[in-house]
Structure 1
Amino acid sequence: MPHLKVYSPKFISRFLKTRPGETKAGEKIQFISRLEELSKSEAKYVIFGIPEDIGVRANYGKPGAASVWNAFLEAFLNFQHNDFLSSENLVLLGEINCSAEMEKASNLDFSDPNYYVKLGEMVEAIDEVVSAVVKAIIAEGKVPVIIGGGHNNAFGNIKGASEAFGKPINVLNIDAHTDLRKLEHRHSGNGFSYAREKGFLDKYVIFGLQENYTPQYIFEEMEAAAEVKYSLFRNLNNGDENAIFEEQLGFVSEGNFGLEVDCDAIAGFPSSAISPSGFTLDEVRNFIGMAGKRQNCSYLHLCEAIATKDYPTGKSLSFLVYEFVKNNAHA
């Protein structure tokens, strides 16, 4: 069973590159020794990682999302602690330790007729830990910032937030895909389907949807559901994307909502479903800043990214997190 691995200053010291006269985020960021200590911290944001790609594999996708957490830490912890980034308002919690499940997934026989079902069972185990951690963070009045893993982890985020608030939550998802696939074995393509089915998700917006990746049956289901809205990417390049994004924010932000960002929505971004068409990184930075200013924005999740040698994935994710913790109205 996966579990939460809590970090210490000593553990993250290997990522730090200190310089005389400068203070890095990793030198001021806060730590706790166990989840129950969150109530004693005055920090508002709690960062943790989910280094797994089992849900992506279970969705017939490209593995690699497990690699991005360390890349993020190496970049973000070396951002400057200054008037624009108050690292003391952040807790670096740790990671969902999925190493045993990752090894087990790698050793599965691909020819096994139950290969994908077995991966889905591992995803369900990860769901339970993710939801418990998110629930505990939000119950303390804090804002989770979740890095990595496949978009299967949206289900755990939504479930945990819903249970913390005692009601279904709303979600705005910046994504090229809906992740509303059929209720089969759990995988990265049906986290929102299951969240709706289980009663954890109320209003749902997909911003930047690529129709080329969306089956007809999903379009029909969305058209029949008043609580689901989407904006096609091809209709968002007329200079009015910010106005449309604000409109979609208005739809979800009347209640508590989560902000999901699938990195395949960013053109050329290394991800499990990399696409040549999509938003720029700076556009997504702007969207995250806009959403983060809403008082009811209850968590941020960045997923599906892959660390590569020829792209600064960790630094890119760090800019996205910075935009959220810099602007969020909870500060």
Structure 2
Amino acid sequence: MQGFQFYSKKDIKHLVNKRNGERKFGENLQFVSSLDELEYLAAKYVIFGIPEDVGVRANFGKPGTSNAWKTALKSLVNIQINRFNDPDNLILLGHLDCRHWMDKASSIDEEDPNYHAKLGDIVKEIDLKVATLIEKIISGNKIPIIIGGGHNNAYGNIKGAAKALNTPINVINIDAHTDLRQLEHRHSGNGFSYAIEGQFLRKYTVFGLHKNYTPEYIFEEMDASENFLYHLAEDILEHPEEAIKKLEKSIEIAGQSKFGLELDCDSISDFPSSAKSPAGFTVNDIRSFIKVASENKNCSYFHICEAAPKDENEAQVGKAIAYFISDFIR
């Protein structure tokens, strides 16, 4: 696939910290050199990265989500292989080569009155690549795990999954925001709006929505449609013992047909992300949610987005994402 960097074992060898008597994930992961090879491997999951933050910047946000993939990869390849962790069911695909788009975005003058719209044009190009990639993976009877980039990539995930399955899909989004903003230029805040407009998304559930950062017109739109469901973070956090029950009910509804699982790291309290918040779920909350969602046979993909690590916290961010990945495939 043009524009995609496929990995081999030698590409991650320098990341694996070997020790006598131990085996790490990076030593036993599977690789392919083309998407056509996926159907010949028994592994169920395919993981890849999207190192971009163009969509976040197009949404007036802070850059940094482009760093999540390399940070997560360092931790993922150093997970211990033991009775609880088996990498044989995971194919490490590689990453979408976003350098052209990142360079193109950086060349746009921020004082340009059309700055954000021009970034949106770049996001549309990324959309096409992501959708094609997801469609290929799911058509090969695999479950993609997508790491990095902004939540703009939800649109490509949903579109690609719907085309592969030949039907609109449902989505459960663990998020502080709905990302249902208006159909203006493409950005990280309207991926689900575009998915609905394109008839790729049927039932949409937001789990952990924050009262303070949701416009009234979006609340009204969600209340008016039977295809929208949301659970407010404030209600969930006030009664944490009910959180899993509420999520299980959401999954019961969404999981009656194929659905995607979206995790926006903005939903995690004090997590380094594009819209870091002092309020939200804990990492352990998220791990419990992932476990419940992944057990449903109709879960068709898992997307972790909006993490924005820096040098001083990249190790912790990487470990957290590696926990999320291992919980999902376990």
How does the TM-score come out when normalised to structure 1? Answer: 0.97
1:321 has 2:315 as partner: no
CA distance in 1 between partners of 2:3 and 2:213 (Å): 34
CA distance in 2 between partners of 1:252 and 1:54 (Å): 30
AA paired with 1:258?
A: G
CA distance in 2 between partners of 1:42 and 1:243 (Å): 33
CA distance in 2 between partners of 1:34 and 1:19 (Å): 32
CA distance in 2 between partners of 1:126 and 1:2 (Å): 13
Q: Aligned residue for 2:289?
A: 287
SS in 1 for 2:48: strand
Alignment counterpart, residue 268 of structure 2, candidates 245, 266, 269: 266
CA distance in 2 between partners of 1:241 and 1:309 (Å): 33
CA distance in 2 between partners of 1:52 and 1:234 (Å): 31
Deviation at 1:103, TM superposition (A): 1.1
CA distance in 1 between partners of 2:33 and 2:225 (Å): 44
CA distance in 2 between partners of 1:259 and 1:57 (Å): 24
User: Cα deviation per residue 1:2-31 (whole Å; 9 max; x = unaligned)?
Assistant: 821111111111211111111100000000
CA distance in 2 between partners of 1:163 and 1:4 (Å): 20
AA paired with 2:202?
A: D
How does the TM-score come out when normalised to structure 2? Answer: 0.97
SS in 2 for 1:63: coil
Give ranges in structure 2 of 5+ residues lacking alignment: none
SS in 1 for 2:69: helix
1:86 has 2:79 as partner: no
Deviation at 1:40, TM superposition (A): 1.0
AA paired with 1:295?
A: K
AA paired with 2:286?
A: V
AA paired with 1:54?
A: V
AA paired with 1:325?
A: I
Deviation at 1:308, TM superposition (A): 2.1
Give ranges in structure 1 of 5+ residues lacking alignment: 327-331
Q: Aligned residue for 1:221?
A: 221
Alignment of 1:8-87 (within 5 A): 8-87=8-87
What count of residue pairs does the alignment treat as equivalent?
326
CA distance in 2 between partners of 1:49 and 1:189 (Å): 20
1:194 has 2:194 as partner: yes
AA paired with 2:187?
A: H
SS in 2 for 1:91: strand
CA distance in 2 between partners of 1:32 and 1:81 (Å): 21
Q: Does the CA-based 8 Å contact 1:266-1:275 persist in structure 2?
A: yes
Alignment of 1:159-308 (within 5 A): 159-237=159-237, 238=239, 239-308=241-310
Kindly report the root-mean-square deviation, in angstroms, between the aligned alpha carbons of the 2 structures: 1.0
SS in 2 for 1:285: helix
